Amino acid sequence: MLAAALSPALLIMLGLAPAAAQEEKVLNVFNWSDYVAPDTIANFEKETGIKVNYDVYDSNDILETKISVGKSGYDIVFPSASPFFARQVKAGLYQKLDLTKIPNAKGVDAKVLQRLASADPGNAHGLPYMMAGTGVGYIKSKIDKLLPNAPIGSFAMLFDPKTVAALKPCGVTVLDAPEEVLPAAMAYTGKSPLSVSTGDLEAAGKTVMAARPSYRYVHSSSYINDLANGAICVAQGYAGDLFQARKRAQEAKNGVEIGIFLPKEGAAFNIDVMAIPKDAPHPDNAHKFINYLLTPKVVADITAAVGYANAVPASLEFVPAEIRNDPVVFPPEEANLYTPVLATPDYERARNRLWTRIKAGK
């Protein structure tokens, strides 16, 4: 009764003011397709009472368009570190993380954080989620019928015009990602995949264009199911996606045996990041979700389900041995890997224009 009779100002002075309203128990997630374990979201909802609205995308460009406009409504997103997250951090699209709300961040591998710092100085705006090399998945039985002694293990499977033409009947695909395909073409021709020379870019474009007529399609997600059911025989893809394709084929018992390799000429190694948009409506819930995903057992289950490596060393004891010891999922120290770099806006525009021409086959 006393509190009801006092003025708001006096209530504050006496420390009797009601507590600030808590965030509504809602979390809006925008993540890559097939990027959590089957029970990840349900378990988080059960543990926290927070209702998750879960949307998916299949390219960094889609995500960037959504959050660049603002007021996307999303609380947490998962951009690839470079060049996308790096560019978005510079543009001020994310809020700084409050690590006091993410105690599990202490368990993140310091080496991964150091690598990520090139995109996010001081690791202020994001923490690593999943990591993978970009590789090639293939069905040897289909390839052998068309091209015995195919150059498996090399980017020639994607960029040598004669090889790709020979395999055209069984289906060859590449990612719809110029930041992946063009550096790969540079590596194939002996150039640095980190080159930002316009001359090297144009040369890479010619390499891809020479093989383009033999590609079944250019897409960043369709290849998973198509490879799993044998509709295509060679696909450039993220190692975790290729792992999922292999797993689906095994579960379907359809006789499709998928091999995966990281090209000998060099493979891109990407880190996808957990970040909170600057205008996220439920940032506290987003912090809770990040902390949950960094729980060793939780992130181990995700790695086991999707075939992507994670950055929490304590999770490895919960990851099945066949995945933990798979050099495609967890590449060895000596693997020939490179991390994409952030290019200038002029270079990015030139690359995107070139990619538009390549996709159109012109």
Claim to verify: residue 223 and residue 355 sit in the same structural domain: yes
Overall domain count for the chain: 2
Question: Is residue 8 situated within a structural domain?
Answer: no
DSSP lists the bridge partners of residue 131 as 271, 309
At 320, which CATH number? 3.40.190.10
170-184, 244-258, 328-342: which range is least confident on average? 328-342
Q: pLDDT tens across 31-83, in order?
A: 999 899 999 999 999 999 999 999 999 889 999 999 999 899 999 999 999 88
Amino acid of residue 53: N
Phi, psi at 150, each rounded to 5°: -60, 150
Q: pLDDT tens across 261-275, in order?
A: 999 999 999 999 999
Claim to verify: residue 117 and residue 225 sit in the same structural domain: no
Q: pLDDT tens across 110-162, in order?
A: 999 998 998 999 999 999 999 999 999 999 999 999 999 999 999 999 999 99
Return mean pLDDT, the chain. Answer: 93
Claim to verify: residue 60 and residue 126 sit in the same structural domain: yes
What does the block give as tokens for 63? Answer: 């995500």
Residue 296 has pLDDT above 70, yes or no: yes
Question: Is residue 52 situated within a structural domain?
Answer: yes
pLDDT grade, residue 21 (50/70/90)? Answer: low
What distance lies between CA 290 and its chain's CA centroid?
16
Claim to verify: residue 127 and residue 137 sit in the same structural domain: no
Terminal C-alpha separation, the chain: 78
pLDDT grade, residue 212 (50/70/90)? Answer: very high
If you average pLDDT over residues 167-190, what whole number do you get? 97
Q: Is 328 exposed, middle or buried (0-12, 13-18, 19+ CB in 10 A)?
A: buried
Question: Is residue 283 situated within a structural domain?
Answer: yes
Question: Is residue 101 situated within a structural domain?
Answer: yes
Claim to verify: residue 256 and residue 279 sit in the same structural domain: no
Q: What is the pLDDT of residue 43?
A: 98
Question: Is residue 208 situated within a structural domain?
Answer: yes
Q: What is the pLDDT of residue 3?
A: 39
pLDDT grade, residue 332 (50/70/90)? Answer: confident
Residue 5 has pLDDT above 60, yes or no: no
Write the DSSP string, 278-297: TT-S-HHHHHHHHHHHTSHH
Q: What is the pLDDT of residue 361?
A: 86
174 within 8 A of 236, measured Cβ to Cβ: yes
Claim to verify: residue 41 and residue 93 sit in the same structural domain: yes
Claim to verify: residue 283 and residue 251 sit in the same structural domain: no
Q: pLDDT tens across 69-117, in order?
A: 989 999 999 999 988 999 999 999 999 999 999 999 999 999 999 989 9
Q: Answer whether 0.85 is exceeded by the pTM.
A: no
Residue 223 has pLDDT above 90, yes or no: yes
Q: For residues 82 and 272, what is the distance between their CA atoms, to the nearest angstrom?
A: 9
Claim to verify: residue 301 and residue 214 sit in the same structural domain: no
Question: Is residue 7 situated within a structural domain?
Answer: no
Claim to verify: residue 306 and residue 348 sit in the same structural domain: no
Proportion of the chain above pLDDT 90, given as a percent: 87
Mark out the alpha helices in 175-279 (DSSP H runs).
178-188, 198-211, 222-228, 239-252
Claim to verify: residue 202 and residue 294 sit in the same structural domain: no
Residue 2 has pLDDT above 70, yes or no: no
Residue 18 has pLDDT above 90, yes or no: no
Q: What is the pLDDT of residue 341?
A: 79
Question: Is residue 17 situated within a structural domain?
Answer: no
Q: For residues 273 and 61, what is the distance between their CA atoms, to the nearest angstrom?
A: 15
Claim to verify: residue 217 and residue 346 sit in the same structural domain: yes
Question: Is residue 202 situated within a structural domain?
Answer: yes
Q: What distances in angstroms separate CA 319 from CA 70, 186, 194, 301, 309, one per listed residue?
A: 38, 35, 32, 7, 10
Residue tagged 């086991």 (tokens): 304
If you average pLDDT over residues 349-359, what whole number do you get? 96
Claim to verify: residue 29 and residue 87 sit in the same structural domain: yes
List the domain range (segments joined by +) for residue 103.
24-132+270-332
